[in-house]
Structure 1
C-alpha cells in the first residue's frame, strides 16, 4: 500500500452548520427550557380542550345544583383525577420527545411508597399542630357534629382517595415537568419560586380565600420544593399534600383554601379576627401558618436530606 493512497487516508469529516431555527429551539441539554415549558402548556391546553369536549357530549351526571357547587369526595376527586391523567399524558409526550424518562421529572425510581407515607405522616401532623395552636389561642371552636362511625369511616376513605388525586395533580403540574424544565433555564430555586407564586395565585378564584391564604399556599409550595430538591421525587410532597388536605377537609372539617366540603368527622368554627383565625379561608388563612411552614421545611431537611455514610464521614 503506497503512502498517500485513498485507503491510507483518514475519512473526511464534514461538519454542517447548525440551522438558526435549531439553535433557537435546541441548546446543549436538548430542547431549551422556555420552549419546553411552552410546549408543555400548549399540550395541557389541547388535551384539556379535547377532554372538555368529550365531557360536554357524554351523558355524565351534573355536579351543579341551584347554581352552586358542593365539594364532595366524588366531584372533587373525579375532576382532579382527570386533570392528573392529562398532566401525566402531557409529561409522557414531552419526555418521549426529549428522550427522557418520567423518573427524570420526579415520578420516582424506588422507595416511593415509603416517601409517600412519610410525607403523609408529616402532613397530618402539621395540620393538626396548626389546628391545636389556633384552638389554644381561642381562634377556633369545636362544634357538636354527630356522625355515625360507619358513615365517618366511609367518608374518611373517600376523602383520602379524593385528596390523593388533588395532591398528585397539583404536585405533578407544579413540581413535575415544569419544575425540572424551567430549572435548566433559571436554576432549580428560580423555577420553584416562579411556580410557587403561580400556585398561590391559582387559589385566588376560590370563594372565601384570603391574601394570607394565598401567601401561605405559595410558601408551602416553596417548602415542598425542598423535598423535590433532596429526593428528586414527587412522592413525599404528594403524601404531605394529601394528608394536609385530608386533615383540613375531613378530619377537622375546616374550610380548605376557602372551600367547604360535604362529609367530615369533626366540625370547627373560626372565631375572632380572620387574620389570626383564618376566617372563611380556613387554618391556612391564619398568620399562625407561617411559622408552621418553617417547621415543615425543617422536617423536610431532617427527613429527606441524603444521609452521609460512615465511610464518607471518615474520609
Structure 2
C-alpha cells in the first residue's frame, strides 16, 4: 500500500471512530438517550437479580405478605431504594458526576423536607375536611389505644418516608436530570408524570385516578423547579401518605393498611369521595393541587424576589466601594 493510500485509510478510520463516538457522546457527555437506556438496563438487572428474590424471601418468611403492614412495606421499600441508589451511583461514576447533581444536593434540604411534611399533612387534612363537611366521609372512631398509637405512628412514618423517597427519586433523580438535558425540564416532567400515572393507574382505577395522579406528580415536579432538589416533594408525599394511611385511616390508592389511628369510611358519589381508591381518587384533587401550586408560587416567588433584591443591593454596594 502506498503512503497516500495509508494516509487516506488512516483518515477514514479516524473519521469513522469520531462518528461512532458522536453517536454515544455529545460535547464530552453521554447522550441522554443512551444514559437513560443504560440506567434502565442497570436498574432492571438489579431488580431481576437482587430485588425480586429478596422480596420473595422476606415475603415468604413473614407469611403475611398479602397484608400491608409497616414491616412488609418497609422491607420492600428499603430494597427498592437500595437498587435505585446503586443504579444512580453507577451512572454517576460512568458520567463523572457526583450523585448530588441528580437533584439530591440541597444546602436547605432539611428545611425543604420539613416544610414539605407540613404542607403534605395540611393538604390531606383540608381534603378530608371538605369530604367530611359534605358528608362524603364519616368518622367511625379511634382505632388504636395506648402504646400502639406511638408504635404505629413511628413505624408508618419510617416506612413511608423510605417508600416516598424511592418514588420521588425514581422520577426526579437521574431520569429527570438526564431527560431534561435532552428535551428540557417541563417536557421531561410531562413525560415522566404521564408514564408513571398510566403505570400505577392501569388495571387499578379509571381515567379520573390517572388524571389525579398526573396532576399530583406535576405539582411535585413544580417543587423541584422552585427548590432545585427533590426533598420538598419527599416530605409532601410522605406526610400525605402518612395522613391517609395512619392518621385518618382512609384508603391509599385503593390499599387499606394495618394500624391506623382513626377509622373512617367514604360514602356518597365515588366521583367526589374517591370510593375504594380513597380521597385521592375524587374530583377534589385537581382544585386542591391548583391551590397548592398557587401557594408554592406565592411563597417561593417572594423568596426569589427577596434573594434577587439582596443580590442587587450587594452588587451596588460593591460597585460604590
**Cα 1:124–1:206 shift into 2, 3 Å:** farther
Matching of residues 165-184 of structure 1 within 5 Å = 165-184=162-181
Among residues 294, 297, 300, which one is paired with 2:293 in the alignment? Answer: 297
**Cα 1:145–1:184 shift into 2, 3 Å:** same
Distance 1:303 1:249 in 2: 28
**SS in structure 2 at match of 1:107:** coil
Among residues 131, 134, 149, which one is paired with 1:134 in the alignment? Answer: 131
**Cα 1:59–1:71 shift into 2, 3 Å:** closer
Q: Deviations over 1:177-216 (max 9, x none)?
A: 0001001111100000011012212222675x44322211
Asked if residue 244 in structure 1 is aligned to residue 226 in structure 2, the reply is: no
Distance 1:262 1:243 in 2: 17
Q: TM-score, normalised by structure 2?
A: 0.86
Q: Is the 8 A contact 1:206 1:258 kept in 2?
A: no
Distance 2:294 2:63 in 1: 42
Distance 1:53 1:73 in 2: 19
Asked if residue 193 in structure 1 is aligned to residue 170 in structure 2, the reply is: no
**Cα 1:177–1:124 shift into 2, 3 Å:** same
**SS in structure 1 at match of 2:138:** strand
Distance 1:57 1:258 in 2: 23
Q: 1 or 2, which has the higher helix percentage? A: 2
| CA drift at 1:268 | 1.3
**Unaligned ranges ≥5, structure 1:** 1-15
Q: Deviations over 1:104-124 (max 9, x none)?
A: 111113121111111110000
Distance 1:29 1:179 in 2: 20
**SS in structure 2 at match of 1:269:** strand
Figure out how many residues of one structure are paired with residues of the other and give that number. 297
| CA drift at 1:313 | 5.9
Aligned CA RMSD, in angstroms, stands at 2.1
The answer for the alignment partner of 2:282 in structure 1 is: 286
Q: Is the 8 A contact 2:152 2:246 kept in 1?
A: yes
Q: Is the 8 A contact 2:246 2:262 kept in 1?
A: yes
